[in-house]
């Protein structure tokens, strides 16, 4: 990335990370706090944890489309303001219903798609994957930091104070948006990051993509459900008060992040993606079973959390990569939009169902229910075909080229395995093996001067 792109990507990643940090910070501490709220029930506890996921799932794609019409920054600003208002509502509420409304408002500030569109406006295609990876790392780091810092902040300012802090961070993010993020020279539709209405039928009828969408829904459902029960396990069964629970998460998360690296390398570089993928789902099931059956043992709880977070981190890293490789090359943005919607909806379902299970069957009901979901996912994923390790590239076609004749010609070139030409955009999308690719033949056919990788 050049200096201008770095100046754009770093603050965008920061805004994205702060917003996700705000959503994650209450995960490790909210369950215990909610017991003191009016109208508390276990079911409403779960609903409060997951409420943001429902509104975010419903609104993120429409907000992305709105940003195409009225501009990226106005939509992002409005979303951050709504997020801040939701945080204030939650902070001022002494009823579980008020927190549910606040969390739903937080999710209504659904700026993910608009942020990705702004990122695309400010980066070249050949560096966009690196920019998106930076955002992914930021989100993952936000989750880790939240689990460690959340209990410490709870001891210092309380959960309502955390909500106030989240609101302040959202308002500061608006300042970062206008002070540090450049205005794009022009905004356009980017097929690699944005959803197109006409592509949903193609994406939703693809069984391989649906398996991945189902997977991320289940993964986030289990993760959210765990935090309905886990704070009570640590407090009531292991006698660890909230302020000290951070010291349980810290070593587990650090070691899990170290262990995940060789597993991802094995999956990506050694051609063991399916084996690592299915093993990780199995580890999720084993971890939840340990937490359900042996939650009175510190060793078993720590071991279960370790297995869970290793598998969770591996799956969170590999699922988007698989979506990118399996999606039609000219509809990656739509595929990712459906994937993100499934991800957020999973958080909602996990909270709602986890709360119900806790109310009826105590903590073991939550964990054993999660085992059932993981086993179901394993059965669905077992029939999945893993994509070949090929690269997607986007090429700008010369304006005088005969677009209707390009696709057959491209498919005859060595190293080209998939081709899609969009004549109205003077663009060709290819999936290729770069080691085999006859680039000179591609250049000659398309009349282009340089490649821009997606």
pTM: 0.90
CA angle 124, 125, 128 (to 5 degrees): 85
Closest CA to 363 of 159, 243, 227, 240: 227
The DSSP bridge partners found for residue 453 are: 393
User: Hey, what are 40's tokens?
Assistant: 């508390």
Q: Which of 298-312, 343-357, 376-390, 431-445 has the lowest mean pLDDT?
A: 431-445
Could you give the C-alpha distances from 448 to 33, 36, 243, 415, in angstroms and in order?
A: 60, 65, 60, 18
| Residue pLDDT, tens place only, 69-91 | 898 999 999 999 999 999 999 99
**Burial of 453: CB neighbours in 10 Å, binned 0-12, 13-18, 19+:** middle
| Residue pLDDT, tens place only, 370-429 | 999 999 999 999 988 877 777 777 777 766 566 667 878 888 888 888 888 877 677 778
Helix axes 112-122, 125-179, angle to 10 degrees: 110
Compute the radius of gyration of the chain from its Cα atoms: 23
User: Mean pLDDT score of the chain, rounded to an integer?
Assistant: 88
260 alpha-carbon distance from chain centroid: 17
Domain segments of the chain: what residues?
Answer: 1-181, 200-388, 391-453
Q: Say if residues 224 and 103 touch (Cβ distance below 8 Å).
A: no
For the chain, what percent of residues have pLDDT higher than 90? 57
CATH of domain 1-181: 1.20.1250.20
Q: Between these two residues, 330 and 32, which has the higher pLDDT value?
A: 32
- Using CA atoms, how far apart are residues 408 and 358, in angstroms rounded to an integer? 57
For the chain, what percent of residues have pLDDT higher than 70? 95
* pLDDT above 90 for 92: yes
User: Hey, what are 41's tokens?
Assistant: 């029930």
243 alpha-carbon distance from chain centroid: 28
- Using CA atoms, how far apart are residues 378 and 373, in angstroms rounded to an integer? 9
- Using CA atoms, how far apart are residues 417 and 45, in angstroms rounded to an integer? 50
- Same topology, domains 1-181 and 200-388? Answer is yes
Fold of the CATH domain 200-388:
Growth Hormone; Chain: A; (1.20.1250)
CATH of 391-453, one of 3.40.50.150, 3.30.70.100, 3.40.605.10, 3.10.129.10: 3.30.70.100
């Amino acid at each position: 990335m050049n200096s201008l792109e770095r100046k754009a990507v770093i603050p965008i990643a920061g805004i994205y990370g702060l917003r996700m940090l705000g959503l994650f910070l209450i995960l490790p501490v909210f369950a215990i706090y909610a017991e003191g709220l009016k109208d508390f029930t276990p079911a409403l506890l779960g609903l409060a944890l997951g409420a943001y996921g429902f509104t975010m799932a419903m609104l993120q794609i429409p907000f992305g489309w709105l940003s195409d019409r009225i501009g990226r920054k106005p939509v992002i600003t409005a979303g951050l303001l709504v997020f801040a208002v939701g945080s204030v509502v939650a902070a001022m509420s002494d009823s579980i219903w008020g927190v549910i409304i606040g969390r739903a408002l937080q999710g209504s500030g659904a700026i993910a798609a608009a942020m990705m569109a702004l990122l695309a406006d400010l980066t070249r295609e050949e560096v966009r994957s690196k920019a998106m990876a930076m955002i992914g790392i930021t989100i993952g780091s936000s989750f880790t930091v939240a689990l460690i810092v959340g209990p410490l902040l709870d001891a210092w300012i309380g959960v309502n104070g955390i909500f106030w802090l989240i609101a302040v961070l959202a308002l500061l993010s608006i300042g970062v948006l206008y002070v540090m993020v450049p205005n794009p020279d022009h905004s356009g539709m980017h097929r690699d990051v944005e959803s197109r209405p006409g592509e949903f039928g193609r994406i939703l009828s693809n069984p391989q993509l649906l398996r991945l969408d189902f997977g991320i829904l289940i993964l986030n459902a289990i993760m959210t459900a765990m935090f309905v029960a886990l704070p009570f396990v640590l407090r009531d069964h292991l006698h660890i008060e909230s302020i000290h629970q951070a010291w349980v998460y810290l070593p587990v998360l650090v070691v899990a992040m170290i262990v995940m690296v060789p597993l991802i390398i094995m999956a990506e570089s050694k051609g063991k993606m399916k084996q690592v993928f299915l093993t990780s789902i199995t580890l999720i099931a084993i971890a939840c079973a340990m937490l359900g059956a042996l939650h009175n043992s510190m060793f078993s709880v720590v071991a279960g959390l370790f297995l869970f977070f290793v598998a969770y981190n591996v799956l969170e890293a590999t699922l988007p990569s698989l979506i990118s490789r399996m999606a039609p090359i000219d509809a990656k943005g739509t595929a990712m939009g459906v994937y993100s919607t499934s991800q957020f909806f999973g958080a909602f379902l996990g909270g709602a169902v986890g709360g119900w299970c806790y109310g009826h069957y105590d903590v073991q009901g939550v964990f054993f229910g999660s085992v059932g979901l993981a086993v179901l996912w394993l059965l669905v994923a077992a029939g999945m075909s893993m994509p070949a390790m090929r690269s997607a590239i986007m090429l700008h076609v010369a304006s005088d080229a005969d677009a209707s004749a390009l696709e057959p010609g491209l498919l005859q070139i060595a190293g080209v395995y998939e081709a899609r030409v969009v004549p109205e955009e003077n663009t060709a999308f290819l999936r290729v093996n770069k080691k085999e690719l006859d680039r000179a033949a591609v250049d000659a056919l398309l009349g282009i001067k340089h490649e821009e990788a997606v």
